[in-house]
Amino acid sequence: MSNNPTPGKCQGKPILGWFFFLITVAAVFGLGLLFASIMERRDEAKIRPPMVKIDKFEADNTKWSENWPRQHASYREMDDDTTRTKFGGAGPIDYLADTTANVILFAGYGFSKDYLQARGHTYAVEDITQTGRNNGKLPATCWTCKSPDVPRLMAQFGKKKVANPDDASLQELAVAGAGDFYSKKWNDFKDDITHPIGCLDCHEPDTMKLRVSRPALIEAFKRQGKDVNKVSHQEMRTLVCAQCHVEYYFKGKGKYLTFPWDQGTTPEAMEAYYNDADFKDWTHAISKTPMIKMQHPDYEVYSTGIHAFRGVSCADCHMPYRSEGGAKFSDHHLQSPLLNISNSCAVCHRWSEDETRSRVEDIQTKNAQGRARAERAIAFAHFDIAACMQIGVTDEQINSVRQLVRSAQMNWDYVAANNGMGFHSPQECMRILTKAIEKAQEARIQAARLLATYGYVKEVVYPDYSTKEKAQTLIKTFIAGNAPDLLNGYKVQ
Ligand code: HEC
Ligand code: HEC
Ligand code: HEC
Ligand code: HEC
């Protein structure tokens, strides 16, 4: 017999009742959700025009704070430079004492004298002024990523005329004047540039819309046939950072700030660009190799990772929403997300704070191991080349070995100079490190062969660079021409 009674009068009524009951429950629940969501997003969506009018070139963050006290107060939290995570934080870690191979790798260049971990944005002007790499003779280009005073000065010193200067946008004026600004000296602007990275760098004052204020990114996009102003809102939440957190170089005599992206943003593409341009940042003091310093290709590395692939922006992790007194706003305390896991990661990942931290540290530790192996191989390769020079190998014979070391170190630096110790794109960083190690070891094999042709078959005597002081004293001997004998008294017969 069927359990299924034929639909009839006695069945219809309760079913209908339940139906209405469930509809009502669902409706009430839905309204509740909607209300909660409205409450939550009330302040999120509220980018209303400022109450106090802000000038097109207003670089003083305190002026903006009258309209946006919460964002400004959180921005000022970057004054705390005491934080520390396993590999990051805002404390000024000394990268030369921490990793003494850095002194060897950057021998003959400013980074072997002074190389500290970055602090928060509020220190940008102070840090560029005080770094041991600044001898006062730097080009004005060095100011570009430090201060919202820069676009105004570009506009002021630009000789190129724009159609309607009074109506022209900050972007137009900055692009027109950039070249004249870059060709001046750092010292020319040291009284005009006082405000560290701030509101004007990322926001349009009238509307508070995000926008790119720096010419180099606008121009790099243009050369690739893209328009920096025609990207999605989500992409803009990354591009405001990509104005500064990228690889760049100073092109030509006018020291024109340029991103080497014409062939792409992979290390291969940037290396090809630099090789085609026959560019070098400096000549290595130990191996006389024409070298390239990578700056901080954070955007490029990030772009190859899983988060970029899934549309997660820099701001999602570094500027998460924060709630205060019922208001929700973007946290302007840009820092290591590991100091704020609940807001930065837990929105998307249901892992506990401890799990998240240990997952990140595990990724970073592996990256750090790969990095250290590359560092050692490249440092030794510089000494191997120096040993070849001591034995009498000619430039002609050794130049191809130098090319290998140049490439190895550029690839290593793409990973080393990028912030986050590999987290932004672990697999890509590992791929590049294995390449750096392979090239450095190939250079060492070729150098050993050259030494062998001169009858030297023992190991090169590698000098001690185990402390920052020892390493710095050592590279001075190479610069002064009284370097230690790397061949232990060996003389060609
Ligand atoms: C998925 C989240 C996430 C995204 C997206 C992300 N980051 Fe990070 N970032 C991190 C984590 C995690 C660290 C490691 C922090 C540490 O080691 O303390 C980090 C480190 C950094 C650091 C160094 C901070 C420090 O204290 O050492 C900088 C600078 C940085 N990121 C910039 C960027 C930029 C620029 C972008 C976009 C191009 C970006 N990040 C995208 C999570 C993210
Ligand atoms: C490094 C870039 C950057 C700087 C510098 C910056 N902001 Fe923002 N700001 C952002 C981003 C990214 C958002 C998120 C905007 C979005 O998604 O619509 C934001 C959002 C805002 C909003 C919209 C409401 C909110 O909180 O989401 C206000 C208002 C604001 N910022 C004010 C300021 C003020 C005031 C300063 C200077 C003290 C400042 N910002 C400096 C990047 C920046
Ligand atoms: C105008 C250039 C500029 C822009 C725009 C910019 N940065 Fe920076 N950023 C810097 C400089 C310069 C430093 C190093 C400051 C120092 O050490 O004095 C820095 C440092 C940092 C640090 C290190 C702070 C710490 O506590 O470890 C983080 C994180 C960071 N930036 C993230 C971002 C993110 C995310 C964005 C986009 C939302 C962004 N930055 C936009 C120039 C910029
Ligand atoms: C806006 C959402 C979002 C935020 C915020 C976010 N993630 Fe993710 N994360 C993702 C997505 C999406 C993936 C890819 C997972 C997938 O597709 O299976 C991912 C993947 C990962 C992975 C796996 C990586 C791999 O190689 O497979 C790790 C680890 C991770 N996230 C850590 C973090 C940490 C740490 C933070 C905070 C600093 C963070 N995420 C913030 C969305 C986010």
Ligand with minimal distance to 147 CA: 3
Reported as a single tens digit per residue, the pLDDT across 178-199 is 999 999 999 999 999 999 999 9
Average pLDDT over residues 316-328: 95
Q: Look up the CATH architecture of domain 61-79+120-259+294-332.
A: Orthogonal Bundle (1.10)
Per CATH, the number for 361-480 is 1.20.140.10
Which of ligand 4's atoms lies nearest the C-alpha of 316? Answer: 5
- CA distances 30 to 16, 22, 26, 27, 34, Å, are 21, 12, 6, 5, 6
The whole model's pTM is what?
Answer: 0.92
- Which residue from 203, 317, 335 has its CB within 8 A of the most atoms of ligand 2, so it is best to mutate? 203
Which of ligand 2's atoms lies nearest the C-alpha of 121? Answer: 5
Query: For residue 403, how far is its CA from the centre of ligand 2 (angstroms)?
Result: 44
CATH 1.10.1130.10 in the chain, residue ranges: 61-79+120-259+294-332
The label of the residue with tokens 């508070």 reads 208
The Cα 323–Cα 57 span in angstroms is 30
Residue nearest to atom 21 of ligand 2 (CA): 330
Reported as a single tens digit per residue, the pLDDT across 296-312 is 999 999 999 999 999 99
Query: For residue 492, how far is its CA from the centre of ligand 3 (angstroms)?
Result: 53
CATH 1.20.140.10 in the chain, residue ranges: 361-480
- Which residue from 348, 359, 361 has its CB within 8 A of the most atoms of ligand 4, so it is best to mutate? 348
Angle subtended at Cα 204 by Cα 70 and Cα 173, rounded to the nearest 5 degrees = 145
Kindly report the average pLDDT of the chain as a whole number: 92
The Cα 89–Cα 87 span in angstroms is 7
Q: How confident is the model at residue 7 (pLDDT cuts 50, 70, 90)?
A: very low
- Which residue from 121, 128, 240, 316 has its CB within 8 A of the most atoms of ligand 3, so it is best to mutate? 121
Q: How confident is the model at residue 9 (pLDDT cuts 50, 70, 90)?
A: very low
pLDDT score recorded for residue 149: 98
The Cα 80–Cα 335 span in angstroms is 10
Show the tokens assigned to 411.
């690839």
Residue nearest to atom 40 of ligand 3 (CA): 241
Cβ(258)–Cβ(186) below 8 Å: no
pLDDT score recorded for residue 30: 64
